[in-house]
Amino acid sequence: MKGFPLLALWITAVLAPAWAAGASAPDPALYSYHERPGERLPQQLAFRDSDDRTVHLGELAQGRPLILVLAYFHCSSLCGLVRASLLKAIAADKLEPGRDYTLAVISIDPHETSAQAQTAKAVDLSTLGSSADAPADHYLTGSAENITALTRAVGFQYGFDQATGQFMHPAGVVFVTSAGIVSNYLLGVGYTPAAVRSALERAGAGRIAAVGSPILLLCFHFDPSTGRYSLQILKVVRLAGLLTVLTLVGLLFLLYRHERVSQ
């Protein structure tokens, strides 16, 4: 129980801002994945790759399952963690782009450029010792119209907060069959190699998974007390949630004291 003070601090720092925000906190139901397994992606949608070339969505898979990540490249919060978690799981399982899958990281910000996509690709792949020229790893930007069409197809609910200048959106990865059909999702962060391989195998076989339980994890950062980016777990029933956390902290404190006394 030596970690009790740190755990209590984590509970206070992470959960308290969500309650303090009160009614002004974003509603996760508006910014979550509404899973749509079996949905066909609009293959004709055009995007710009990191070399500023036009590519169409239907050209990406090349007969392989497609891993689709919706994010934005200048995000300083959860987007980078999603990509890092995915790429580390892929590397740990020795999966290879161009053989086992195709990756498409597509920006939801229509103002981002191919140069920003190129930088993000280089940073992401360099951490794994991979070349930024990997042809099966696509980092793409697009018009607002095409981004909206794609996000609607996969059920990616997001919005832009003018006050903070950031996007509110869910964390997760979409797995698509080579024919452009949504197969399954991995939501949240912290993907394991086994989970990624299973999702890829399902998409590779053309299987369509059932809708899973939603994970209410948003990429949204503003903390008015610090002005910094922060990760918030929202949609907490305020009073019940607060009582639950206080009960947990009290129980841990009693266990901590008991351990100290018995030492």
DSSP string, 114-176: HHHHHHHHHHHHHTTT--TT-TTEEEEB--HHHHHHHHHHHTB--EEETTTTEEEEE-EEEEE
Q: Is the dihedral of CA 210, 213, 195, 63 positive or negative?
A: positive
Checking if the pLDDT of 230 tops 60, the result is no
9 is a domain residue: no
- The number of residues making up the chain comes to 263
Checking if the pLDDT of 194 tops 80, the result is yes
Same domain? 154 vs 256: no
pLDDT tens by residue, 40-68: 999 999 999 999 999 999 999 999 999 99
- Tell me the whole-structure pTM to 2 decimals: 0.73
- Using 50, 70 and 90 to split pLDDT, how confident is the model at 256? low
Same domain? 56 vs 164: yes
Backbone angles phi, psi at 214, to 5 degrees: -70, 145
d(CA 167, CA 75): 8
The number of distinct structural domains making up the chain is: 2
Task: Please state the rounded mean pLDDT for residues 3-26.
Answer: 48
Same domain? 151 vs 248: no
Domain, as residue range, for 40: 28-219
d(CA 48, CA 4): 49
d(CA 71, CA 232): 17
Q: How far is CA 243 from the centre of its chain?
A: 29
Contact status, residue 34 vs residue 157, Cβ threshold 8 Å? yes
Q: What is the model's pLDDT at position 263? A: 61
d(CA 108, CA 72): 6
Least confident range of 4-18, 114-128, 147-161: 4-18
Find which of 84-88, 124-128, 246-250, 259-263 is predicted with most confidence, using mean pLDDT: 84-88
Contact status, residue 152 vs residue 33, Cβ threshold 8 Å? no
Find which of 30-39, 81-90, 130-139 is predicted with most confidence, using mean pLDDT: 81-90
Continuous segment of H or E residues that includes residue 79: helix 79-92
58 is a domain residue: yes
Find which of 8-17, 135-144, 163-172 is predicted with most confidence, using mean pLDDT: 135-144
Contact status, residue 61 vs residue 199, Cβ threshold 8 Å? no
Same domain? 147 vs 252: no
Same domain? 203 vs 126: yes
- Look at residue 257 and give its three-state secondary structure: helix
227 is a domain residue: no
Report the CATH number that the domain containing residue 159 is assigned in CATH: 3.40.30.10
Q: What is the model's pLDDT at position 260? A: 65
Same domain? 207 vs 254: no
pLDDT tens by residue, 108-137: 999 999 999 999 999 998 877 766 667 899
12 is a domain residue: no
Checking if the pLDDT of 19 tops 50, the result is no
Same domain? 202 vs 244: no
